[in-house]
Amino acid sequence: MKNYPKLILASVLFNVAIASHADYSTHPEAQEFIDTMVTKHQFAREDIVSWLSAAEHQESIVKAMSRPAEKVKPWHEYRKHFISERRINGGVAFWEQNRETLANAERDFGVDQAIIVSIIGVETNYGSNTGSYKVIDALSTLAFDYYTYTDKRESRKRFFTSELENLLLLAREQHQDPVELKGSYAGAMGLGQFMPSSYRHYAVDYDQDQFADIWRNPTDAIASVANYFAEHGWRQGEAVAVRANINQDPAEETVNKLIRPKQTLAELEEQGYKIMQPMAPDTKALPMRFSAKYGNEYWLGMHNFYVISRYNPRTKYAMAVYQLSELIRQRKCVQSNDCPAS
């Protein structure tokens, strides 16, 4: 109770500080950024000042960043959010609407069509929710005002300042107005929710109209997601994950570690895992545990599972993408009567 006045005072001072620097072009934290954009990238100072003056602090972004669904929901609840009849049927419809582009992307990039569809389904429900925040608002808020009183301040500041830098660079490269680009509260953009740095590395102008439009053009968005996976080492035709059983619950430190798979299935079997489908014993995998509604589920994730996690480094995310992709694939083959012979 004795700390309450101090906390209230800190909150008041923080809000006053934000109010006094509502114009990000005059924010103390932004001055080095402005200088960098001018000297490193040869932007006109007046342009940077104008764009930052237009950026607005969004307190709702700070609140949203403190409660991502992955951290607060157990797997069985997290899964329900992304895997539903509506999202499965939406995936089948998106696949049908973009079947030629998806087939071409699989041919050109060597990435499974179902995975591409699933990523777009998980990220934005097939483009229906790409975010309503101005990206420059989100990244300015996160670069200059987020985590002000925490130990993570400097690392978060560096990350979001770099993304703000990349936003202005991509806007110049793509001949877009940086103030008008929309995205999520974290600054992710388009059907596949690319951060600005990912956009600059992986976005593809697949229809060759001089703009890699991942916001409104499914052709460019599909190819961009495929390119991301190709560049991160997707192995076409290989398994993603398999169910497993284990006699004794594994130690916490041995599961859900998103590193490149190192242990073989033979080694994991020696530790008590029982793989529920035949696979080569030298296949490398990651052991995972998920909290289902009535107990734990055990899975082994292969190389391609690890690649999915490069899109979002969380086991629950990668598993949701994988499971949704399989359900979409199954629904599509049943509806089109082209399921492969078992």
- The token pair that represents 147 in the structure block: 């985590």
Active site residue 96: no
- The token pair that represents 16 in the structure block: 């006053």
Instruction: Say if residues 120 and 39 touch (Cβ distance below 8 Å).
Output: no
- In angstroms, how far apart are the furthest CA atoms of the chain? 70
Write down the catalytic residue from 106, 123, 163, 165: 123
CA atoms of 58 and 51, how far apart (whole Å)? 16
Instruction: Say if residues 187 and 160 touch (Cβ distance below 8 Å).
Output: yes
CA atoms of 226 and 150, how far apart (whole Å)? 37
Q: Indicate which residues carry an active-site annotation.
A: 123
